[in-house]
Structure 1
Amino acid sequence: MKKYDFIIAGGGMAGLSLAYYLSQSPLRDRSILILDKETKQRNDRTWCFWEQQTGPFEPILFRKWNTVEFFGTTYEGLLDIGDYQYKMLRGIDFYEFMKNHLAQFPTIEFRQVTINRVKDTPQGGFVIANDEPYIASYVFDSTFALNLKRPENHNLLQHFKGWVIQTEKPCFDVNRPCMMDFRVEQHGDCRFLYVLPFDERTALVEYTIFNDRLLADAEYDTALIDYISRFLDTGNYTIQETEFGIIPMSDEPTQERAGRRVVRIGTSGGYTKPSTGYTFQRTQRYLHEIVQNLVAIGKPRRRKPWLRRVFKKYLDSVLLNVLQYRRHPADDVFTRLYQYNPPGQIFRFLDEDTTFTEDLKIMSTVPLGPFTVAALDVLRKKVLRI
């Protein structure tokens, strides 16, 4: 049996990004096997993120904007995002770019298989796929499913359905994407739309919900139809594409190092921010650091200051507690964050780049009563867990 240097279990965003960073490093000549059950030939998702500098995927961005709109409970209008840009990357463009780029390296192999098991052993990381064994010095696994049923944790879902619509009337301003629009019935949840214009007659309109249960498919459609009729002067329109996704929002403890030779990446490794579901930029940052350390010391480690990490996770749990137990309307929470803080500072906060003092200043702008109750409840749960 051939032993690879690296096996990447799961060829989605995290797995392909890791292969890309390895190919851009001095490790580009190492043997790499990418295993996935799909061939990634359709536009199954869209990633939107903010960034200050030019990123590695700049050539394949579908759109980018220097400002965004926000519609909340007591504040609406354009947000001054400073030196940030709001960027949109389509899944199909990402997959095609990765396939073409990685095909240049003869030491990188792809296998379309179903992964049955990933195991750490003294001999290396083992993967069983289609009942066949594979071994590598390190296995990077993005397929491990988190346990989202433990009652001692906060377990929500971010679920969304989006339509790319083409309209009869020219109703979109290509320079004004809407990042969050809370002018929809909340039903006690956190529900908002975002609208990303491609041109004057084409845009992605997406309905997003934070709660603990999925809707019937027709309910997403009804919400999209209602929003378009109320807020967009489209005339007749046709649906060109549809996308649907689910992202876990959970403070379930994750284990990035699942063994000496197995490393979990992506959502499996805790790369999704629990309180918001943001994943793309965190994944890029963490994987880049892993590859840097593989080059420097030969081990896939990330530097994780303990106190800072614990405090950030605590803040995530507090916001999840507010959302899960409906302690305060979520639309008002997010409105306050963007109304009373510079948007760029909120971006830094969500990227976990803010200091302890900055975190406290931002948290002082949310409703203190409900958040204090949530903070105490999170502490109680942690004590009971211990």
Structure 2
Amino acid sequence: MKKYDFIIAGGGMAGLSLAYYLSQSPLRNRSILILEREAKTSNDRTWCFWERKNEPSRSEHESGMASRLTHFESILFRTWDIVSFHGTTYAGPIDMGAYQYKMLRGIDFYEFVQQELAKHPSIERKQATINRIKDTPQGGFVIADDEPYIADYVFDSTFLLKLDQPENHNLLQHFKGWVIKTEHICFDPQRPEIMDFRVAQHGDCRFIYVLPFDEQTALVEFTLFNDKLLTDDEYEVELRQYIDQFLNPGAYQISETEHGVIPMSDEAASEIPSDHIVRIGTSGGYTKASTGYTFQRTQRYLRTIVENLVKTGKPHRPAPWFARRFKLYDSIFLNVLEKHRHPADDLFTRVYTENPGRVFTFLDEETSFVEEVRLFTTMPFMPFLSAFFNVLRRKIVG
């Protein structure tokens, strides 16, 4: 049984990103094995995220880290400086200030990373189903397709969170989207619609986002934040109604379909559960509970892990104690949504329209406490106060 320096269990976004950062570091010649069940040869998902334009984030500046925004810049499918929003009391553009909204297609990411990894013979990739991962005194032990593997560290993105514990908030972000080609000109390629709440809410948080590729082509996606998935027909009915009512497309063709489910949970994830196993991606708690955003946070966290491996030989990613307040904020927001304490469409309208620029810094967890207090004053007081005490009761009393 060959022993590797690193085994990456799961070759999706998190696993491939880690392998890429290792390949760009002084650790590039270490023996690395990537185990992934799927070949990753299709455009199975799209990542959208905001990021500062050219300067380092606040945490990078304070830690002396150089700006790392260019790793995937060459393969971004679209980049926007202004986004549109359609809420309860406002419809129009939102100036992102120092941020840009970016779109990266899954197939472009997979092909780029796989081409880079192919340049390094020390990095192996095997298509296999992972059966078991455990820690041993000799290292992290993996069985995949009944074959044993061992490494100094196993980076695991396959571990499944429970998502059913009553003390936690366990919502889902689920969506279905179509790339459509329309007969009529109906999109502004310079302005995506990041949230359009002109769909029936049914007591949930439901919205459409529209990412234009050109004047007649766009990804139109129906998204929900709640705890119940819909049938395929229900997603499609909402998509067709929105397209027909608000886009005036004429005849249109559907060229691509995507569907996904992302946990929005404040379950405490253990990033390093044992000496030789490190959980990454959603498995390691990288998904921001209140938004479901994962891509950009995963990139930041994995870069830190690789930097620590280079400097100390250990993959620990220390987090300042005071930064834990953002987890409390996430829990409070999830509680407001879960208990329907205030209409979600109005909450998001307040967040985005009354906190221009600041909202993106806040969601990136880069704000100061004073800035956070200013943002909180734009939210409805009693629903959030009730949520705060309910979160404390659930987390402390259980």
Match of 2:294 in 1: 279
Match of 2:224 in 1: 209
Match of 1:29 in 2: 29
347-356 or 203-212, which deviates more: 347-356
Q: CA deviation at 1:307?
A: 2.8
Q: CA deviation at 1:340?
A: 1.0
Give secondary structure in 2 for the equivalent of 1:174.
coil
* Map 1:152-191 → 2, pairs under 5 A: 152-191=167-206
1:76-103 Cα offsets, whole Å, 9 max, x none, are: 1000111211100000100111111100
Match of 1:384 in 2: 397
| Amino acid corresponding to residue 50 of structure 2 in structure 1 | W
Q: For 2:257, which of 242, 248, 251 is the aligned residue?
A: 242
1:307 and 1:78 mapped to 2: Cα distance?
34
Q: For 2:369, which of 322, 343, 356 is the aligned residue?
A: 356
1:199 and 2:214 are equivalent in the alignment: yes
1:225 and 2:237 are equivalent in the alignment: no
Aligned-pair identity in percent equals 67
2:307 and 2:244 mapped to 1: Cα distance?
50
Report the RMSD for the aligned CA atoms in angstroms.
0.8
| Amino acid corresponding to residue 173 of structure 1 in structure 2 | D
* Map 1:1-386 → 2, pairs under 5 A: 1-52=1-52, 53=54, 54-309=69-324, 311-342=325-356, 344-385=357-398
1:313 and 1:228 mapped to 2: Cα distance?
36
1:85 and 1:314 mapped to 2: Cα distance?
27
2:82 and 2:396 mapped to 1: Cα distance?
43
1:56 and 1:76 mapped to 2: Cα distance?
34
Q: CA deviation at 1:45?
A: 0.5
Asked if 1 retains the 8 angstrom alpha-carbon contact of 2:9 and 2:156, the reply is: yes
1:45 and 1:302 mapped to 2: Cα distance?
28
Give secondary structure in 1 for the equivalent of 2:370.
helix
Asked if 1 retains the 8 angstrom alpha-carbon contact of 2:133 and 2:140, the reply is: yes
| Amino acid corresponding to residue 229 of structure 2 in structure 1 | L
2:265 and 2:396 mapped to 1: Cα distance?
18
1:199 and 1:383 mapped to 2: Cα distance?
51
Give secondary structure in 1 for the equivalent of 2:168.
coil
Q: CA deviation at 1:59?
A: 0.5
State the TM-score, normalized to the length of structure 2. Answer: 0.95
Asked if 1 retains the 8 angstrom alpha-carbon contact of 2:290 and 2:330, the reply is: yes
2:132 and 2:368 mapped to 1: Cα distance?
40
| Amino acid corresponding to residue 331 of structure 1 in structure 2 | D
1:99 and 1:245 mapped to 2: Cα distance?
23
Asked if 1 retains the 8 angstrom alpha-carbon contact of 2:94 and 2:353, the reply is: no
| Amino acid corresponding to residue 72 of structure 1 in structure 2 | G
Give secondary structure in 1 for the equivalent of 2:195.
strand
Could you tell me which runs of 5 or more consecutive residues in structure 2 were left unpaired when the two chains were aligned: 55-68
Asked if 1 retains the 8 angstrom alpha-carbon contact of 2:168 and 2:395, the reply is: no
Q: CA deviation at 1:308?
A: 2.1
Q: CA deviation at 1:355?
A: 1.3
Q: CA deviation at 1:361?
A: 1.4
1:209-244 Cα offsets, whole Å, 9 max, x none, are: 000010011000000000001110210000000000
Report the number of matched residues: 383
